[in-house]
Structure 1
Amino acid sequence: MTTASPAIRRFWGAQPIVRLRREGAVAPILTFALFFLVYVIINPELLTRFQLQTAANVVVPLAFAALGQLIIVLVGGIDISIGAIMSLANVVFATAMTSMPVPLAMLAGIGAGLACGLFNGLLVAYGNLPAIAVTLASAFIFGSISREIMDRPGGGITTEFYLATSGEAIPYVPVSLVWLALVAVLLWLLLQRTNLGRQIYGVGSSVESVQAAGLNARGAKLAAFALSSVVVSLGAILLAGSTLTGDPRSGDPYVLTSIAAVALAGASFTGGRGSIIGAILAAATLGLLGGLLFFAGINSYWQYVIAALIVISVVAIPALWKIVYTAVKGVKS
């Protein structure tokens, strides 16, 4: 049996397979591999250049939303406002593109998303309010602001921006996947190789231990919400690029599916465990599910039912297992 080289061990901090298993990423990797094989058998045209680019542009915004949701789950929360943050960043960016250079328009969109994340984070971390309640309320606030800025799809997205975000980097390599890979690597380095990342994981595992070590648990929670909103805003900008428009409802489909992707990725909803690669591949599975259902002759709206069942299963199975285990243990004693 071979072992990882010293260079790989230094980079990962442990053997890759061991780390993936510990983070719950093995199951979503295998699920995606099986799902992709079935999809290609049913629809071989997925491997053509046009279909790959189209599929990537569907999957990538969901992957960004899943990564944003994962960061919140790592600190033991759930963000119901992710869809509204995505919509707000999307319309702010699209509106800014009508009168600003692309870099400034991107900063405007990211800044709008960051403001939402800080709003949520301050109430959760320093107001000691439940994340699910705060983000449920803020979803209505952010959504209303989005519709105030833009009451119908529009904006100034250019063809050049589309090509830079949603075209092809090289043949058969959608550029949106390149942007996703870049952000994923940077996010992995931040979470795994910095003190802030360790604090984010630590807060989810045991906030008492983080506080006992003299670390700022509240600051880590606030940083998690801020980081999540930036990642989600980048997804909103890529979504605007792929659709060539801003839309005040563009983020609505990503609330449930981002939670389902994190659940499918094997992350713990009590915090402290989750995989970036697992979240991305789970998002890819869910993102392509609608297309698979279509080619199978099934209404694609069933993908939302499946996403809901995934969330219920992830929550229910451990609870049922605990009941069964307790019952069996009681009978034996």
Structure 2
Amino acid sequence: MTATVTPPPTIPPVQKRAQGGLRGFWNAQPVVRLRREGAMPPLAAFLVFFVVYVIINPELLTRFQLQTASNLVVPLAFAALAQLLIVLVGGIDISIGAIMSLSNVVFATAMVSLPVPLAILAGLATGLVCGLFNGFLVAFGKLPAIAVTLASAFIIGSISREVMDRPGGGITEQFYLATSGELFPYMPVSLFWLILAAVGLWLLLQRTALGRHIYGVGSNVESVRAAGLNARGAQLAAFALSGVVAALGAIMLAGSTLTGDPRSGDPYLLNSIAAVALAGASFAGGKGSILGTILAACTLGLVGNLLFFAGINSYWQYVIAALIVISVVGIPVISRQISTAVRGIKA
């Protein structure tokens, strides 16, 4: 009788280690995530303009210049993050600037008679109420976000001028140091607060059910509803959170300028939309990067400062910034079209 020999179990081959060099870096998980979220173009744009800026104005790397640049860019970054939250659910918020203005003057007015923590809560509550107002009309009234926020921009802007008809308020030197001073050498306090808020927002969007619902509503609201998820609640939460983030930017702005201004948020509306576009977010919803949005805001800030030092008229600064946004957003699209056409010819 012939003995049956059982072959040894097949041992799967050892997986090859990730290739090193440029290809290994390009395929690394963090880089893949940035590419998927569309954050690579704003990262590249930021690095290019940062190098150009340092070459033209090396004083940017001094402690004072870094602090000044951070104080200018941080409010825009908060406004862009607030806009990103609305874009993620497939909308656009025309009232971001007005919300910042109202939160700014409410906070500055509250600082006259209230302790600092209560004044901060008053400013944040203002942004929250504005966001809930917009979100309720969009989520439950089923009205277009752009129409709702356009109307609320006029309403909120008018309230801002009723609260404070001219720049003023009770911002103290101590609050300036706490929001716009220097944490330690070469580390502006404003940048620290921005990083802290960005990390918290990233964890909320990437590690919680609410964040997944916000992305899901923007990607396909009908699928979210079919899955039994609360699409309206996610939309309302996105608008409410956006209002709070915008209010944070308004408070940081008040701290850096030492005053409240009923028109302080006006410059941030178009720039927030431009930053989100430059970050590669989809205005159809469901796609957007927090890191890319912050880098895009920093890039726009660098461009504005660079053109200012070059002596270029402020009106042309908006034109050049718009062309940069179009270029950064359009180049990947054109590249994909060319690549598709070339593959079609080869086939």
TM-score over 0.5 for the pair: yes
In 2: Cα distance, 1:59 partner to 1:180 partner:
10
In 1: Cα distance, 2:324 partner to 2:221 partner:
28
User: How many residues in Structure 1 have an aligned counterpart in Structure 2?
Assistant: 323
- Give me the CA root mean square deviation: 2.6
Change beyond 3 A, Cα 1:70–1:3: farther
**Equivalence for 1:259:** 273
Paired amino acid for 2:43? I
**Equivalence for 2:244:** 230
Q: CA deviation at 1:314?
A: 7.8
**Equivalence for 1:168:** 182
Change beyond 3 A, Cα 1:193–1:174: same
**Equivalence for 2:211:** 197
Structure 2 unpaired stretches of 5+: 1-16, 21-27
In 1: Cα distance, 2:159 partner to 2:206 partner:
35
In 2: Cα distance, 1:129 partner to 1:311 partner:
29
Structure 1 residue 61 and structure 2 residue 87: aligned? Answer: no
1:169 alignment partner, SS class: strand
In 2: Cα distance, 1:328 partner to 1:182 partner:
45
C-alpha contact (below 8 Å) 1:260/1:310 kept by paired residues: no
Structure 1 residue 149 and structure 2 residue 163: aligned? Answer: yes
Q: CA deviation at 1:305?
A: 2.1
**Equivalence for 1:303:** 317
2:112 alignment partner, SS class: coil
**Equivalence for 1:103:** 117
Change beyond 3 A, Cα 1:3–1:88: farther
Which string of whole-angstrom CA distances, capped at 9 and with x for unpartnered residues, describes residues 276-333 of structure 1?
000000000101212100222312332322344456668888999999999999x9xx
C-alpha contact (below 8 Å) 1:256/1:307 kept by paired residues: no
Find the partner of 1:135 among 134, 137, 149.
Answer: 149
2:312 alignment partner, SS class: coil
Change beyond 3 A, Cα 1:41–1:312: closer
In 1: Cα distance, 2:218 partner to 2:212 partner:
10
2:113 alignment partner, SS class: coil
Change beyond 3 A, Cα 1:171–1:227: same
289-298 vs 189-198, which deviates more? 289-298
C-alpha contact (below 8 Å) 1:263/1:314 kept by paired residues: no
**Equivalence for 1:91:** 105
1:301 alignment partner, SS class: helix
1:221 alignment partner, SS class: helix
C-alpha contact (below 8 Å) 1:91/1:247 kept by paired residues: yes
Which string of whole-angstrom CA distances, capped at 9 and with x for unpartnered residues, describes residues 238-296 of structure 1?
00000000000000000000000000001011000000000000000101212100222
Paired amino acid for 1:282? A
**Equivalence for 1:116:** 130
**Equivalence for 2:264:** 250
Structure 1 residue 29 and structure 2 residue 43: aligned? Answer: yes
C-alpha contact (below 8 Å) 1:154/1:245 kept by paired residues: yes
In 2: Cα distance, 1:256 partner to 1:266 partner:
16
Pair member with larger Rg: 2
In 1: Cα distance, 2:121 partner to 2:263 partner:
21
Structure 1 residue 19 and structure 2 residue 33: aligned? Answer: yes
**Equivalence for 1:8:** none
C-alpha contact (below 8 Å) 1:259/1:311 kept by paired residues: no
1:97 alignment partner, SS class: helix
C-alpha contact (below 8 Å) 2:216/2:224 kept by paired residues: yes
C-alpha contact (below 8 Å) 2:98/2:157 kept by paired residues: yes
Paired amino acid for 1:37? V
**Equivalence for 2:303:** 289
In 1: Cα distance, 2:253 partner to 2:114 partner:
19
In 2: Cα distance, 1:3 partner to 1:162 partner:
49
Using structure 2 for the length normalisation, give the TM-score. Answer: 0.87
Find the partner of 2:221 among 202, 207, 230.
Answer: 207
Paired amino acid for 1:304? Y
C-alpha contact (below 8 Å) 1:85/1:142 kept by paired residues: yes
Change beyond 3 A, Cα 1:316–1:266: closer
Change beyond 3 A, Cα 1:75–1:44: same
Q: CA deviation at 1:212?
A: 1.0
**Equivalence for 1:51:** 65
Percent of aligned positions that are identical: 79
Using structure 1 for the length normalisation, give the TM-score. Answer: 0.91
